[in-house]
Amino acid sequence: MLERIRFENYKDKIITATQAALLFEDGMTIGSSGFTKAGDSKAVLPAFAARAQNENIAVTLITGASLGHTTDSDLAGAHALNKRMPFQVDPVLRKEINKGTILFIDQHLSETAELLANGHIPAMDYAVIEASAIDENGYIIPTTSIGNSVTFAQLSKKIIIEINTSVPVSFTGIHDIFLPGEYPDRKIIPIVKPCTYIGVDYITVDPEKVAGIVFTELPDSPAEVTAPDEKTIAIAAHLVKFFEKEITAGRLTQALMPLQAGIGKVANAVLSGLSKGDFKNLTMYSEVLQDSTFELIDNGKMNFASASSITVSNECHKKILNNFDFYKDKIVLRPQNISNSPEVIRRLGVIAINTAIEFDIYGNVNSTHISGTKMMNGIGGSGDFARNAYLSIFVTQAASKDGNSISHVLPMVSHTDHTEHDVDILVTDQGLADLRSLAPRERARVIIENCAHPEYKEELRSYFERACEREGHTPHILEEALSWHQQYINSGTMKKASVLQTI
Amino acid sequence: MLERIRFENYKDKIITATQAALLFEDGMTIGSSGFTKAGDSKAVLPAFAARAQNENIAVTLITGASLGHTTDSDLAGAHALNKRMPFQVDPVLRKEINKGTILFIDQHLSETAELLANGHIPAMDYAVIEASAIDENGYIIPTTSIGNSVTFAQLSKKIIIEINTSVPVSFTGIHDIFLPGEYPDRKIIPIVKPCTYIGVDYITVDPEKVAGIVFTELPDSPAEVTAPDEKTIAIAAHLVKFFEKEITAGRLTQALMPLQAGIGKVANAVLSGLSKGDFKNLTMYSEVLQDSTFELIDNGKMNFASASSITVSNECHKKILNNFDFYKDKIVLRPQNISNSPEVIRRLGVIAINTAIEFDIYGNVNSTHISGTKMMNGIGGSGDFARNAYLSIFVTQAASKDGNSISHVLPMVSHTDHTEHDVDILVTDQGLADLRSLAPRERARVIIENCAHPEYKEELRSYFERACEREGHTPHILEEALSWHQQYINSGTMKKASVLQTI
């Protein structure tokens, strides 16, 4: 106990999760640590979900990003949420969001802290923040993520600290806490390399605001790392080939530029693909450190990785803890408004690799909405990176479902998260479209020929050619532009031919 | 002459504009100074247009932003352009762009310099840069804009300097030239206030690259300042009232935050509106200094204004020159990758006010394309500012044309330049929608009730309610989403009722 709470005045603040959850009142706004399943509240939020099962109570919940375990499911299932932001990946919560019963604000991950600090989102009543320990000043030593915890601790009226004893007390030296301060005297964020340390390794809290300390021993839920499949291997291969060509052209070195990769199997496959290429001294300036990051460090390809969380498989988690002294000086965790800061991303020249749900023949990308209406997860940090990156890359499969009934390359996206202005490279398992210095009509040809699935190329060419007959910088046939989505909703396939045959 | 060329080695480089234009070869890439009609090439580019009238020759032309006089018209009319970027406002050029005969790349104004520096756009063969004079080292003293000239001078293989004798040699002390350097060692841009000077007042050139010096005495073409009308006055009044409420709520002071305003009569009306409100110590961190900027300085409301160009009426131009000592320490011109830098915009907390062509009930904004296809001007700097601003505000009229046949508030925008994530406040002559901390379904109600024209409210409500019956985070009826634009194209009005009557 003593090694976990080194601040005398907190000793009488230890309460149970159930007691902590009773502090919340209907209509309150709650902040919680947690970024891509790492460092989230594992005791208080679940206890609140249990309380809400038997009580008519709901709150607004703001986190870093997605929560782990079944917390979002449990909260959504118990009708304990009025509003949720800035990101989620939970199937039960997603269903309620799409029914409109829980309101969701889909935010750039760098912006939640900004909106809170500027008073554009009302301040939190309580913040729940996971810690490995509390230091001599009553400050929080964070665990596997930092996320928005620094801002929550600063702005929340009251704080509940969740000490997680599954995280060793030795898990320190990898946190770099810095906030740029308040307007109108905001400070420069002086990061000039992914490895620049600019702050302290604890989260400052006002001890007076600490309403309770809760203990838990539940570890982070592990990342599900799926093995690369034929499509993700093909995507990775196209991208590795592209990087090699850029090196040959003298625009990149073997160290590339600092990498950012979205979460999931495509991103993991791409990073794994880099292990096989002729790269060295790679660095990462990203949101999440995944299994593939540690693979690159292990095989000597990557020197340093900066992010806001560590979200890895159980196996990788064990490896990190067992070899912590080896990894300690090769990784850093930062607040998400620093890891995703436009200022730093442009200064470092990040290569941003993110996953699209679909993109169109002009290079507009939909990252969030199925058929323009249903929220999948949220934009996450993809916008923070894509807009300010040295290279903005989006990847997806060319077609999916039985019989390739869905084309992910479309005449017009049904929802736009990233505009043509912010997209340099598109990659599918079919190939890579390099859109740099191309006008929309040039982009369309390259995207259709390089990225579309062969079964959809002819239809896309037809659309584009007929649209061009009507004129326009970005030629479209408005009455047909969203018809592929409509047809999928109505008939279960985007294929024109198969529809004709079945009629 | 001596006071205009203070570098001995250039004395034999003086040529005519016609001679300079003969240096260009078919297929070359040419860079030219010029940002919103200020400081553009007034001799060499027109001479090249004249040459191309009688010759089969065309180039790629990259500028800061729009050119003045009839230069873009003349070039487009003479088929002298293959490709044009990053912005234009010219009717003849626009027509060719929409026919697809001239390829246009619509770029964020901060990014052109990045793309050039990174080699993502091929380097220029020639750069034409306007100067008021050449200093003792052969360096350029710029005139009324800086735009991309610093990058052009640095990267172009050859340089032609256009000395404009209509600009007094005393027109100095307002330029602040700074480039952040090359990857991987990019420097911090150390601006912490709009008035921070961080560089030098000349554009460095390698004298060896100077291929010719041309004289001109043609002044910048003047801005057309239209008097505020009923609608723009209403928009300005809604916005001033909003700012006053923010001050009352303690989120802003009477100094607001540094202002950015797009070009045109709405922006001018809004800034003029601030003259009447209870504001003081205002500052500007924007792209263009317009008549309204100098009005605010004149009446003591504004302390300092930073931008990349001065684009004003003839009358205001005279006022500035006649009182240059008064204005000199209150304004600064910067390269457009600094004036529009994401880093600085977020650090300063800019309030960004830009004009929309249309927006939808969820807050997505179209700034560029008429009916999703035809390019108007380009995104300009609106994306640089909207994404990183303290507050991102978009303004437009609720309805326009005879009988209000066009609604500018729509079920779905026909083209997205700014996504819902990047839009905080929408204003029309009908009212203001404050979208902060609202989810899509909440946004729709506020936008329809506050911003839509009364003649379209019922139809928008109907669309939204019927869309909600289908579920979805962002409810849409795909087959109807773009039908308002389709109907306008087919029948000349977006009004459902009037169509029914005429059938």
Q: Confirm or deny that A189 is annotated as ligand binding.
A: no
Asked if B183 and B120 count as a contact pair (C-beta separation under 8 A), the reply is no
Query: What distance in Å separates the CA atoms of residue A383 and residue B385, rounded to the nearest whole number?
Result: 14
Query: What distance in Å separates the CA atoms of residue A307 and residue A285, rounded to the nearest whole number?
Result: 6
Mean of pLDDT values over B345-369: 98
| Its pTM surpasses 0.95 | yes
A-chain CB neighbours of B190 within 8 Å are 188
Query: What distance in Å separates the CA atoms of residue A138 and residue B170, rounded to the nearest whole number?
Result: 60
User: Which letter does DSSP use for residue A145 in this model?
Assistant: B
Which residue is it, tokens 């019922």? Answer: B458
Instruction: List Cα–Cα distances, A169 to A173, A324, A375, B23, in angstroms.
Output: 11, 12, 39, 70
pLDDT at A71 exceeding the cut of 90: yes
pLDDT tens digits along A38-48: 999 999 999 99
Please state, for a pLDDT cut of 70, what percent of chain A lies above it: 98
Omega of the bond leading into A86 within 30 degrees of 0 (cis):
yes
pLDDT at B251 exceeding the cut of 80: yes
Nearest to A395 by CA among A229, A227, A232, A277: A232
Mean of pLDDT values over A467-495: 97
Residue in B100, B347, B372 closest to A476 by CB: B372
**The 3-state secondary structure of B412-462, one letter per residue:** CCCCCCECHHHCCEEEECCEEEECCCCCHHHHHHHHHHHHCCHHHHHHHHH
Cα of A364 to nearest chain B Cα, Å: 9
Would the CB atoms of A468 and B184 count as touching at under 8 Å? no
> Helices (H), strands (E): how many in chain B?
19, 26
Q: Is the dihedral of CA A103, A106, A112, A117 positive or negative?
A: negative
Query: What distance in Å separates the CA atoms of residue B252 and residue B390, rounded to the nearest whole number?
Result: 11
Query: What distance in Å separates the CA atoms of residue A234 and residue B103, rounded to the nearest whole number?
Result: 32
A-chain CB neighbours of B349 within 8 Å are 118, 183-184, 186
Asked if B80 and B59 count as a contact pair (C-beta separation under 8 A), the reply is yes
Residues in chain B: 503
Mean of pLDDT values over A13-17: 98
* Nearest C-alpha in B relative to A481: B482
Nearest to A473 by CA among A423, A439, A435: A439
Q: What is the average pLDDT value for chain B, to the nearest integer?
A: 96
Note the pLDDT of residue B2. Answer: 72
Would the CB atoms of B373 and A436 count as touching at under 8 Å? no
What is the token pair recorded at B206? 């390698």
Would the CB atoms of B372 and A474 count as touching at under 8 Å? yes
Please state, for a pLDDT cut of 90, what percent of chain B lies above it: 93
* Nearest C-alpha in B relative to A122: B437
Note the pLDDT of residue B101. Answer: 97
Residues in chain A: 503
Query: What distance in Å separates the CA atoms of residue A244 and residue A232, rounded to the nearest whole number?
Result: 18
Neighbour tally for B465: CB within 10 Å: 11
User: Which letter does DSSP use for residue A8 in this model?
Assistant: G
Residue in B98, B184, B388 closest to A349 by CB: B184
Q: What's the pLDDT band for B268 if we cut at 50, 70, 90? A: confident
Note the pLDDT of residue B501. Answer: 52
Q: Is A166 exposed, middle or buried (0-12, 13-18, 19+ CB in 10 A)?
A: middle
Residue in A104, A118, A489 closest to B390 by CB: A118
Asked if B73 and B79 count as a contact pair (C-beta separation under 8 A), the reply is no
* Beta-ladder partners of B352: B260, B392
Q: Which residues are within 8 A (CB) of A466 and not within 5 positions of it... i.e. 6 or more apart?
A: A477
Residue in A184, A391, A439 closest to B105 by CB: A439
User: Which letter does DSSP use for residue B173 in this model?
Assistant: S
3-state secondary structure of B44: helix
Q: Is A410 left (phi over 0), alpha (psi -120 to 50) or beta?
A: beta
Mean of pLDDT values over A145-170: 98
Asked if B416 and B287 count as a contact pair (C-beta separation under 8 A), the reply is no
pLDDT at A472 exceeding the cut of 60: yes
Q: Which residues are within 8 A (CB) of B503 and not within 5 positions of it... i.e. 6 or more apart?
A: none
Lowest-pLDDT range of A271-280, A432-441, B472-481 = A271-280
Q: Confirm or deny that A77 is annotated as ligand binding.
A: no
Query: What distance in Å separates the CA atoms of residue A142 and residue B343, rounded to the nearest whole number?
Result: 28
pLDDT tens digits along A152-161: 999 999 999 9
Instruction: List Cα–Cα distances, B28 to A169, B3, B32, B83, B197, in angstroms.
Output: 63, 33, 13, 10, 36
Would the CB atoms of B98 and A192 count as touching at under 8 Å? no
Asked if A460 and A411 count as a contact pair (C-beta separation under 8 A), the reply is yes
Strands (E), B23-125: 29-32, 59-62, 81-85, 103-104
pLDDT tens digits along B292-344: 999 999 999 999 999 999 999 999 999 999 999 999 999 999 999 999 999 99
Nearest to B269 by CA among B225, B311, B314: B225
Which residue is it, tokens 């001679």? Answer: B19
Asked if A360 and A411 count as a contact pair (C-beta separation under 8 A), the reply is yes
Residue in A104, A347, A383 closest to B421 by CB: A383
Would the CB atoms of A373 and B473 count as touching at under 8 Å? yes
Q: What's the pLDDT band for B277 if we cut at 50, 70, 90? A: confident
Cα of A340 to nearest chain B Cα, Å: 12
Asked if B430 and B230 count as a contact pair (C-beta separation under 8 A), the reply is no
Q: What's the pLDDT band for A503 if we cut at 50, 70, 90? A: very low
State the pairing for strand pair A406-407/A399-400. Answer: antiparallel
* Nearest C-alpha in A relative to B475: A373
Q: What's the pLDDT band for A165 if we cut at 50, 70, 90? A: very high
Vertex A21 angle, CA A20 and A26, to 5°: 130
Note the pLDDT of residue B383. Answer: 97
Q: What is the average pLDDT value for chain A, to the nearest integer?
A: 96
ipTM above 0.90 for this complex: yes
Which residue is it, tokens 């058929």? Answer: A371
- Selecting among B96, B130, B287, B358, the annotated active-site residue is B287
Please report, in range form, the residues annotated as the binding site of B for CoA. 262-266, 357, 377, 381, 401
Note the pLDDT of residue B503. Answer: 43
Note the pLDDT of residue A498. Answer: 52
Q: Confirm or deny that A198 is annotated as ligand binding.
A: no
Note the pLDDT of residue B30. Answer: 98
- Selecting among A287, A315, A343, A455, the annotated active-site residue is A287
Query: What distance in Å separates the CA atoms of residue A366 and residue A379, rounded to the nearest whole number?
Result: 9
Would the CB atoms of B346 and A343 count as touching at under 8 Å? yes
pLDDT at A297 exceeding the cut of 80: yes
Query: What distance in Å separates the CA atoms of residue A395 and residue B151, rounded to the nearest whole number?
Result: 31
pLDDT tens digits along B206-224: 999 999 999 999 999 999 8
Cα of A384 to nearest chain B Cα, Å: 9
Instruction: List Cα–Cα distances, A300 to A283, A285, A293, A327, in angstroms.
Output: 11, 17, 11, 12
3-state secondary structure of B370: strand
Residue A59: its H or E element = strand A59-62
User: Which letter does DSSP use for residue A403 in this model?
Assistant: G
Cα of B162 to nearest chain A Cα, Å: 27
Which of A421, A424, A443, A491 best tests the B interface by mutation, with the highest count of B CBs <10 A? A421
Instruction: List Cα–Cα distances, A399 to A177, A234, A395, A430, A495, in angstroms.
Output: 42, 13, 12, 9, 11
Would the CB atoms of B481 and A478 count as touching at under 8 Å? no
Cα distance between the two ends of chain B? 71
A287 included as an active-site residue: yes
Q: What's the pLDDT band for A497 if we cut at 50, 70, 90? A: low
Query: What distance in Å separates the CA atoms of residue A121 and residue A142, rounded to the nearest whole number?
Result: 24
pLDDT at B272 exceeding the cut of 90: no
Give CATH superfamily name and number for B2-216.
Glutaconate Coenzyme A-transferase (3.40.1080.10)
pLDDT tens digits along A183-241: 999 999 999 999 999 999 999 999 999 999 999 999 999 998 888 899 999 999 999 99
Note the pLDDT of residue A502. Answer: 47
Burial state string for A238-272 with b = 16 or more CB within 10 A and e = fewer than 16: bbbebbeebbeeebbeebbbbbbbbbbbbbbbbbb
What architecture (CATH level 2) is domain A230-491? 3-Layer(aba) Sandwich (3.40)
Q: Confirm or deny that A27 is annotated as ligand binding.
A: no
State the pairing for strand pair B259-261/B351-355. Answer: parallel
The boundaries of every CATH 3.40.1080.10 domain in chain B are 2-216, 230-491
Q: Confirm or deny that A262 is annotated as ligand binding.
A: yes
pLDDT at B498 exceeding the cut of 80: no
Would the CB atoms of B373 and A474 count as touching at under 8 Å? yes
pLDDT tens digits along B454-485: 999 999 999 999 999 999 999 999 999 999 99
Helical ranges in A249-381 per DSSP H: 265-276, 291-298, 314-322, 324-327, 336-339, 342-348
Would the CB atoms of B415 and A474 count as touching at under 8 Å? yes
Residue in A97, A108, A343 closest to B473 by CB: A97
Asked if A411 and A419 count as a contact pair (C-beta separation under 8 A), the reply is no
Nearest to B166 by CA among B315, B67, B39: B39
* Nearest C-alpha in A relative to B471: A99
What is the token pair recorded at B12? 């034999």
pLDDT at A266 exceeding the cut of 90: no
pLDDT at B359 exceeding the cut of 60: yes
A-chain CB neighbours of B489 within 8 Å are 478
